Amino acid sequence: MIVTTNRLCRLLLLLFGLIVFGPVHGQVIKSDWKLVWSDEFQGDGQPDENWWSFSGRKSADWACYCSDDLQNAELINGMLHLRGTPNTNTADTIPYRTGCISTKGKFSFRYGKVEVRARLGKGQGSWPAIWLMPEKSVYGSWPRSGEIDIVEQLNFDTIVYQTVHTEYVDVLKQKDNPKYFSTASFKPEEFNVFSLEWYPDRLDFFVNGSQTFSYPKVDGLGVAQWPFDQQFYIILDQALGGSWAGPVNSDHLPVEMQVDWVRVYQKANENTFLRNNKQ
C-alpha cells in the first residue's frame, strides 16, 4: 500500500507540473498543420519524375545555364544535389551548367506551410534559391502574378534573402509599405530549415524556426499588391552568375546546394493542393 501511494503521489506531482509549467523538453505538441505532400529524396539517380521536371534553359539570369544532365541534379544516398559546374560539352557554347528542377505541372498548392531542409552552396557567382512561382499567370506575366522567394543566397554571404515580387513592388516601385523583403542570418556550412507559412492575408517567413518577416495583404490595393490567391509550384535551383550574384569565379566550381527534404503542410480545413494536376 505504501508503494502504491508513493506512485500515486509521483503521478499527481507530474500532472501538476505539466499543468503549471507546461510540457517538458522534447515532448511532442500537437499541431494543426497536416502534411499533404513531401519528397524525402530517397535513393539515387534522377529526381522523382512524378513530381519534378528539369526547368529548362531560359533567358532569365537564374535559368540561362540550366541543364538536364544528372551531373547537375541527382540523388545520392538519399540527398538531392544541385550543382553549378563548368560546361565540358564542346557542342554547347555556354560556359557553365546548373541544376534547376521544379514541380510545375506536377504539384502545386495554395496556402499552407512549406519547409525545406538544405545546405547552401557558396563561391563567387553562386546563387542557390528555393522559391515559388504561379502555376498559371492569372494576373499577367512576371511580376504581375507574383513570386515568393523562400530563400536566396549569394556568393559567400552569411545572410540569406527572403523576398516577395509583385506588380506593386517591381512595376509600381512601392517597396516600403509594406516591406517586401528581409535578410536573415543562417548557419553557413550546415543544414538549415527555410520555411514559409502562406495564409489568405499574409506570408510569414522563417529560418530555423524563427520568424524573419511577414508580408501582409493590404486592403484596397488589389491583385497588384496581393496576387497570392492562386496555385503556386516549387523551384529548387543552384544558379550561377547574373546581374545580382555577379561574375563567376571558375576556380570556385563546382558549387552545390544539397536538399534533404521538401515538405508541404496545410490546415485541416484547407484542401487546395494539386497532385499531378488533379485537384
* The pLDDT of residue 16: 45
pLDDT bin (cut points 50, 70, 90) of residue 276 is: low
Q: For residue 161, what pLDDT is reported?
A: 99
Q: Which residue of the set 74, 152, 167, 256 is catalytic?
A: 152
Considering the candidates 135, 147, 167, 197, report the single residue annotated as catalytic: 147
Query: 3-state DSSP: the chain helix, strand, coil percent, rounded to 5?
Result: 15, 40, 45
Give the pLDDT confidence score for residue 272 in this predicted structure: 67
Domains of the chain: 31-275 (2.60.120.200)
Torsion of CA 35, 32, 204, 227, to 10 degrees: 70
Q: Is 147 a residue of the active site?
A: yes
Residue 256 annotated as catalytic = no
The pTM of the full predicted model, rounded to 2 decimals, is 0.88
C-alpha cell read off for 74: 541527382
Per the prediction, the chain carries an average pLDDT of 90
The CA distances from residue 73 to 77, 82, 110, 175, 265, in Å, are 13, 5, 26, 35, 25
pLDDT at 1 over 60: no
Distances (CA, A) of 253 to 18, 26, 74, 166: 53, 41, 17, 33
Mean pLDDT across 181-197: 98
Dihedral pair phi/psi, residue 61, rounded to 5° = -50, -45
Mean pLDDT of the region 82-104: 96
Q: Kindly state the average pLDDT of the residues 258-269.
A: 94
- Which pLDDT value is given to residue 196? 99
User: Is the pLDDT assigned to residue 168 strictly greater than 80?
Assistant: yes
Q: Give the pLDDT mean for 143-151.
A: 99
User: DSSP H helical segments within 112-170, as ranges?
Assistant: 167-170
pLDDT digits (tens, 9 = 90+) for 36-56: 999 999 999 999 999 999 999
Residues above pLDDT 70, as percent of the chain: 86
pLDDT confidence bin for 114, thresholds 50/70/90 = very high
pLDDT of 13 higher than 80: no
Q: Read off the pLDDT of each residue in 213-228 and give the average, rounded to a whole number.
A: 98
Dist. CA 216–CA 147, nearest whole Å: 14
pLDDT for the residue numbered 21: 42
User: What type of residue sits at position 165?
Assistant: H
